Amino acid sequence: MITKQTALDSAQRLVALARAAGADAADSVATASASESVTVRLGDLEDVERSEDESVGLRVFVGKRSASVSGSDLSEDGLAQMAERAVAMARHAPEDPYAQLAPEDLLARGPFADFDLKDADEPSPEKLREKALEIEDAARAVEGVTNSNGASAGAGRSLAALVTSNGFAAAYEASNRYYSASMIAGEGDAMQRDYEARSARHTEDLPEAAEIGREAARRAVGRLDPKRLPSGAMPVLFDPRVGVSLVGHLIGAMSGMSAARRSTFLLDRLEEELFDPSIRILEDPHRVRGMRSRPFDGEGLPTTPRALVEHGRVTGWLANMAAAAQLGIAPTGHAVRGASGAPGISVSNVDLLAGDQSPEELMADIKDGVLVTELIGQGVNAITGDYSRGASGRRIRDGKLAEPVSEFTIAGNLVPMFAALRAANDLETDRAINVPTLRVDGMTIAGE
């Protein structure tokens, strides 16, 4: 994999070549990644995968016209051809009054803080295999497990460099470590499958490998002999593993591009109290070892911790430069870039903060309800907020978890769902988006 300096040099050279070819302004992103994973199944080695990728992207501006190109040839000839092609494309592109570089006075300034995103210890393939076997052995030892879809351990590293023609040049590196397992319980038509997976920047921050296997096994066994739910309205609890999707829908609706296109259910609702005042959703791009921590955004703007929801209200749109220009607001440092295409919009590390009650206390008054542990399908309308997804989980009877249930649909609308949302106290901040167990009353169940 190329070094951080090589990535910076390639991006700087590409910007210089674009300016020489006639671009009024340009920016370039250079990325690289390397990963290795080992998968075992039923005690045998099933797969060893190694991948490396290096790419560079260029965006050029000729007046109000722009174009983007990308490639993997980092030679001088390859970069020169990319620059010439991009400028030629831009000259024939339609004018876009909103596409632009971030102005120099808004750019982030180094030196940047070290968020400890890179683990210097690179596990060997032998070590990864050892961990994968440990995961699977622990899972298969759980009573009720009858087969394995496999267990994996993996490690990777990546880097990203951004250079603009108006003075920004910086890069950062990160590592990724993960364990995963997928287990099968039961026999024949009664078989059930479930999984567990965890990622971290540093190996030492991962749970014990055996615990990953045991959790995947417990989840699979817990799904055996599922029953059907009756149709009707009932309280729904969301396991943290699936509850993150509710925050994901909110983040998508907060995108400035969605607001500019008038394709979000949050239009004209920024002043409303959408959540109970106790609900707080915070973003921290500077979290040490965070899975989405970053010192600057995809356009070179500084990143800043902020509240996404405070006092029950959404705090504003998430905007890159183009969205900010369309909405007449300041950019918020949420631009993201790959090697190809124009900047998009995304968040960094996000937490929906914990409430005061345990999950057991949160469900204690529920006579008949359901804990959702798996969601199926993508039935969410981003414009209206209408929500309908297939689900499975555990029935709640008289405040206690009861039998597994499956093949039902939960439906509602995100606006009243957010208003009814309550949070338990079991928040763990080990993923990019984290939530505790969540409760939403009054959802519609389509079952038997």
Q: Quote the tokens at residue 232.
A: 């009707």
Query: Tell me, which fold does domain 4-38+49-106 have in CATH?
Result: PmbA/TldD fold (3.30.2290)
Q: Indicate if the pLDDT at residue 338 is higher than 90.
A: no
Which pLDDT value is given to residue 21? 96
Please report how the helices 76-91 and 4-20 are oriented relative to each other, as an axis angle in degrees rounded to 10: 50
Q: Indicate if the pLDDT at residue 315 is higher than 90.
A: yes
pTM, to two decimals: 0.94
Which pLDDT value is given to residue 251? 97
Q: Indicate if the pLDDT at residue 110 is higher than 90.
A: no
Q: What's the mean pLDDT in 11-35?
A: 97
Q: Indicate if the pLDDT at residue 147 is higher than 90.
A: yes
Which pLDDT value is given to residue 196? 97
Q: What's the mean pLDDT in 414-424?
A: 97
Q: Indicate if the pLDDT at residue 421 is higher than 90.
A: yes
Q: Indicate if the pLDDT at residue 224 is higher than 90.
A: yes
Contact 281, 348 (CB under 8 A): no
Rounded to whole angstroms, how far apart are CA atoms 383 and 396? Answer: 32
Q: Indicate if the pLDDT at residue 341 is higher than 90.
A: no
pLDDT digits (tens, 9 = 90+) for 26-82: 999 999 999 999 999 999 999 999 999 999 999 999 999 999 999 999 999 999 999
- Dihedral-angle region of residue 144 (phi above 0 means left; psi in -120 to 50 means alpha; beta otherwise): left
Contact 26, 58 (CB under 8 A): yes
Which pLDDT value is given to residue 240? 97
Instruction: Kindly tell me the sign of the dihedral angle through the C-alpha atoms of 127, 130, 136, 142.
Output: negative
Q: Indicate if the pLDDT at residue 93 is higher than 90.
A: yes
Q: Indicate if the pLDDT at residue 133 is higher than 90.
A: yes
pLDDT digits (tens, 9 = 90+) for 154-205: 999 999 999 999 999 999 999 999 999 999 999 998 999 999 999 999 999 9
Residue percentage of the chain with pLDDT more than 90: 96
> How many C-beta atoms surround the C-beta of residue 257 within 10 A?
18
Q: What's the mean pLDDT in 310-338?
A: 96
Q: What's the mean pLDDT in 197-221?
A: 97
Which pLDDT value is given to residue 271? 87
Which pLDDT value is given to residue 24? 97
Rounded to whole angstroms, how far apart are CA atoms 189 and 329? Answer: 56
Q: Indicate if the pLDDT at residue 229 is higher than 90.
A: yes
Rounded to whole angstroms, how far apart are CA atoms 280 and 422? Answer: 11
Q: Indicate if the pLDDT at residue 443 is higher than 90.
A: yes
Q: Indicate if the pLDDT at residue 448 is higher than 90.
A: no
pLDDT digits (tens, 9 = 90+) for 394-418: 999 999 999 999 999 999 999 999 9
Strand partners, 200: 177
Domain with CATH 3.30.2290.10 in the chain: 4-38+49-106
Calculated CA dihedral for residues 319, 323, 327, 328, nearest 10 degrees: 80
Q: Indicate if the pLDDT at residue 1 is higher than 90.
A: no
Rounded to whole angstroms, how far apart are CA atoms 372 and 140? Answer: 25
pLDDT digits (tens, 9 = 90+) for 243-298: 999 999 999 999 999 999 999 999 999 989 999 999 999 999 999 999 999 999 99
Write the CB contacts of 432 (distance below 8 Å, at least 6 apart in sequence).
290, 291, 292, 348, 349, 350
Which pLDDT value is given to residue 447? 87
Mean pLDDT of all residues belonging to the chain: 96
Q: Quote the tokens at residue 365.
A: 């008054």
